[in-house]
Amino acid sequence: MSARSHGQSTRAIHGTHLRDAHGAPHLPVYNTTTFAFPSTADLLDVVEGRKAGALYSRYGLNPTTFALEETMAGIEEAEAAMAFSSGMAAETALFAQYGRDGIICLGDAYGGTLELLADQLPLLGIRTTFLLGDELGRLEDELRGGPKLIFFETPTNPALEIFDISAIAALAHRHGALVAVDNTFASPVNQRPLDLGADLVVYSATKYLGGHSDITAGVVLGSAEKVAALAPWRKNLGTAIAPETAAMLSRSLRTLTVRVKAQNAAAQAVAEAMDADPRVARVLYPGLASFPGHELARAQMNGFGGILTIELAADGATTSRVADRLELFALAPSLGGAESLATQPVTTTHHGLNPAERSRRGITDSMIRLSIGLEDPQDLICDLDQALGEVRA
Ligand SMILES: *Cc1c(COP(=O)(O)O)cnc(C)c1O
């Protein structure tokens, strides 16, 4: 019975062969830093890579971490997965290993990613070229210049712009470049970049994979060879996931598919209600037929996700008052949890950008990004309706 023949929900629950000697249904937490060996020869087998095995938790060589990585690889149907202490830690290893000949970052990216690429990595000689969606015509020229890693999110934050993973991967591969996709917004339930030709996928597991706003973690997936090359970075930067966090993340993965599917349906309902509300000027959600990226999203995604951005028919100050008046939506700059969150990007995720740069990225003062949780969708719509009372229709 091959795990590959099972559906994604089954793989998420039965995705590891690692079992406990007492018959526990899930591998207990190996909350230990080190592991003893019967002999020096046995220890050397693991140290020198002849045998897989637990050795030292900071190396990521811990059974709880192995179980998580095996399950993640199964969910994504990737050859290998590697777990990190955060999404940013995962990206740091990825950029350090594969970005040394230059990185091209497409579209908007997570604020921390933009800072890492623009401010810290140049200090180490790693340079990034930034191309927005309307500058993709320059991508091939940039590839001729030699950069070897293309990195992007799709859908992007907060405008939900959709990039064509297959087309970008085909172009990159013609020029010998690699493609890494930050699939945090979509999750493996809604999008499978490796199937579309991407070489590597990175997640902030802090969001949908964790799903309860209670753990910080990251994961990189891809071929066994490409993922293994990240191991020395994780080991010596000290960015392995903690065993307790790995166990919590494994627990979260068992409900990933049901959570994401419920959030997709709720986000669609909220998007449609907001689209019909005259106090809302524009709704950015890939699941709306009127959304510019809708057709592409339909072609490359299995679901449209739990994030939408509404642009109010109001100024920035009124938009802040609407955000403040929300009761069920907590005002917090994260996403992917069981509870719904709202954030006005100009005050949080994109606060650091100057107004010219924001407008170049299509981010306005009137936008509120919503991360739809697992509450009853009708309650969320009612909450938005009462908060929109601040807007004169
Ligand atoms: C949150 C986030 C990150 C960073 O992840 P952390 O786990 O907070 O380090 C990276 N990319 C995206 C798209 C994110 O939303």
> Which domains, ranges and CATH numbers included, belong to the chain?
3-253 (3.40.640.10), 256-390 (3.90.1150.10)
DSSP 120: I
30 φ/ψ angles, rounded to the nearest 5 degrees:
-90, 85
Contact yes or no for 154/165 (Cβ under 8 A): yes
Of residues 45, 58, 254, 275, which has the active-site annotation?
A: 58
Q: Which of 327, 318, 328 is nearest to 368 (CA)?
A: 318
For position 26, what pLDDT does the model report?
86
Per-residue pLDDT of the chain (393 residues; tens, 9 = 90+): 454 589 999 999 998 888 888 988 888 899 999 999 999 999 999 999 899 899 999 999 999 999 999 999 999 999 999 999 999 999 999 999 999 999 999 999 998 999 999 999 999 999 999 999 999 999 999 999 887 899 999 999 899 999 999 999 999 999 999 999 999 999 999 999 999 999 999 999 999 999 999 999 999 999 999 999 999 999 999 999 999 999 999 999 999 999 999 999 999 999 999 999 999 999 999 999 999 999 999 999 999 999 999 999 999 999 999 999 999 999 998 999 999 999 999 988 788 788 888 888 889 999 999 999 999 999 999 999 999 999 986
Does the CB atom of residue 112 touch ligand 1 within 6 A?
Answer: yes
What's residue 4's pLDDT?
Answer: 54
Q: In three state form, how does the secondary structure of 103-117 look?
A: EEEECCCCHHHHHHH
62 lines ligand 1 (CB under 6 A): no
Which pLDDT belongs to residue 1? 45
- Cβ pair 8, 188 in contact under 8 A: yes
Known active-site residue 207: yes
CB-based burial of residue 7 (10 Å sphere; 0-12 exposed, 13-18 middle, 19+ buried)? exposed
Q: Give me the pLDDT at residue 34, please.
A: 96
Q: Which of 85, 88, 237 to mutate to test the pocket of ligand 1 (most atoms within 8 A of CB)?
A: 88
> Could you tell me if the CB of 206 is within 6 A of ligand 1?
yes
Distance CA 177, CA 333 (A): 33
Q: In which residue are the tokens 């830093």 written?
A: 33
| Catalytic residue status for 58 | yes
Cα separation, 120 vs 107, in Å, equals 19
Q: Which two tokens stand for residue 4?
A: 């590959």
Beta carbon of 129 within 6 Å of any ligand 1 atom: no
CA atoms within 13 Å, Cβ hemisphere of 223: 8
Alpha carbon of 24 to ligand 1 centroid (Å):
32
Minimum-distance ligand 1 atom for the alpha carbon of 184:
13
What pLDDT is attached to residue 80?
A: 98
Predicted structure pTM score: 0.96
- CA nearest neighbour of 202 among 292, 306, 116: 116
From 207, 212, 214, give the residue whose CB has the most ligand 1 atoms within 8 Å, as the site to mutate: 207
Q: Strand, coil or helix: what is 217?
A: coil
Q: Give the pair of three-digit tokens for residue 269.
A: 């309902």
Query: β-strands 330-331, 341-343: how paired?
Result: parallel
d(CA 10, CA 32): 29
